[in-house]
Amino acid sequence: MNKSEGEKKTNEDEHSLTDIPGIGPGIAAKLEAAGVYDLMGLAVMSPVTLSELAGIGEAVARKAIQAARGLLKLGFMDGIEFSKKREDVAYITSGSANLNNLLGGRGVETKALTEAYGAFGSGKTQLGLTLAVNVQLPKEQGGAAGKAVFIDTEGTFRPERIMQVAEGVGANPDKVLKNILVARAFNSDHQILLIDKINELIHEGEPIKLVIIDSLTAHFRAEFAGRGQLADRQQKLNRYLHNLMKMAEQHNLAVYVTNQVMANPAMMFGDPTTAIGGNIVGHASTYRMYFRRGKQGSRVAKLIDSPNLPDNECQFYVTTKGIRDEEEPE
């Protein structure tokens, strides 16, 4: 039903791309093809990108972006408004109270990017698999009642493991598997393209609440191996992380990424390893954890450089049922 002329629109959802001056149906179609479906998508674009994508002048593009931002009332907000915006943040339990507490109490959160880096076998993938199951749980059980997307760059996704973890929380293993959308990313370009695909799926109504990227950096590391390629790699990785964060905020979903480590011979004390992508990934991550093997089969997670939480450490275990506080009995 059409709204009568002059009636004040109050809800951002009621506006469409074509409400913006300079954006007709043709340009709107181009934008949608590029994964920009709504005013928020437009509002967060840069004039140059929009101009190139839509084939319009930069001045028109800038005006269109400003108009979108105006309609969305982006900019400063007071504390009450801010806390309202945070109200719809959802949390996904890791399966371990210790690990949840490390992350502020309730696990991995939406509108945020959580990174785990550490050596092989430290539990990064196992946490990803556990979260892919737990996101499906109802809110009262620590889930977000949504689906998971698992972007697999290393061929480590294991349906059998998902089924074991699902059984561990008393869920139907087949149903749980069906709610995990798995894509194998063959190279970094493909991995980047998959963001558009996720935006499309959400647009089509898929209730995706978690996106897992295991591993975030492996392809980038392999493809930009030469001397002198580091700046290019970091730039590409930076743009990718930015787009991941944008997706997380726009669609109120959680992003969990894993990252490998490399030996850092310059470091003389402590654990001589650093995360691939270094500061670029570190700055983009809302929560950054370092995983290592602990005593007697345990794992230790350390929170690194969190803006609002202390840099604590905690212990957890990888069990048949997924991530847990306690080791499973023999």
Considering the rule CB under 5 A, would residue 110 count as an interface residue with Mg ion?
no
Instruction: Output the smallest distance, CB 119 to Mg ion, in A.
Output: 10
Looking only at the bridges linking them, the beta strands covering 313-319 and 322-324 are antiparallel
Q: DSSP code of 23?
A: -
Instruction: Output the smallest distance, CB 209 to ligand GTP, in A.
Output: 21
Instruction: Output the smallest distance, CB 162 to ligand GTP, in A.
Output: 11
Backbone φ and ψ of 313, nearest 5°: -125, 155
Instruction: Output the smallest distance, CB 175 to ligand GTP, in A.
Output: 20
Residue nearest to Mg ion (CB): 125
Looking only at the bridges linking them, the beta strands covering 287-293 and 112-118 are parallel
CA distances from 46 to 40, 49, 179 (A): 12, 5, 34
Q: Cβ closer to ligand GTP: 208 or 289?
A: 289
Instruction: Output the smallest distance, CB 265 to Mg ion, in A.
Output: 24
Q: Cβ closer to ligand GTP: 155 or 270?
A: 155
Residue type at 318 in one-letter notation: V
Considering the rule CB under 5 A, would residue 153 count as an interface residue with Mg ion?
no
CB-CB neighbours of 149 under 10 Å: 25
Q: Cβ closer to Mg ion: 91 or 157?
A: 157
Whole-angstrom Cα distance, residue 41 to residue 35? 8
Q: Do 166 and 173 touch, CB atoms closer than 8 A?
A: yes
Q: What six digits make up the tokens of 93? A: 């339990």
Whole-angstrom Cα distance, residue 242 to residue 107? 22
* Binding-site ranges for ligand GTP (CB under 6 A): 118, 120-126, 156, 260, 318-320
Residue 229 site contact among Mg ion, ligand GTP, none (CB < 5 to 8 Å, cut-off depends on kind):
none
Q: If residue 52 lies in a helix (H) or strand (E), which one and from where to where?
A: helix 47-54
Q: Cβ closer to Mg ion: 97 or 119?
A: 119
Q: Is the four-CA dihedral 171, 107, 178, 326 of positive or negative sign?
A: negative
Q: Cβ closer to ligand GTP: 124 or 251?
A: 124
Instruction: Output the smallest distance, CB 10 to Mg ion, in A.
Output: 47
Residue 260 site contact among ligand GTP, Mg ion, none (CB < 5 to 8 Å, cut-off depends on kind):
ligand GTP
Q: Is the peptide bond before 16 cis (omega within 30 degrees of 0)?
A: no
Considering the rule CB under 5 A, would residue 125 count as an interface residue with Mg ion?
yes
Compute how many residues bind Mg ion; rule: CB under 5 A: 2
Instruction: Output the smallest distance, CB 88 to ligand GTP, in A.
Output: 30
Q: Cβ closer to ligand GTP: 156 or 306?
A: 156
Residue type at 319 in one-letter notation: T
Residue type at 248 in one-letter notation: A
Binding mask 244-273 for Mg ion (x = CB under 5 A): ------------------------------
Q: Cβ closer to ligand GTP: 232 or 328?
A: 328
CB-CB neighbours of 179 under 10 Å: 20
Considering the rule CB under 5 A, would residue 122 count as an interface residue with Mg ion?
no
**Contact set with Mg ion (CB under 5 A):** 125, 156
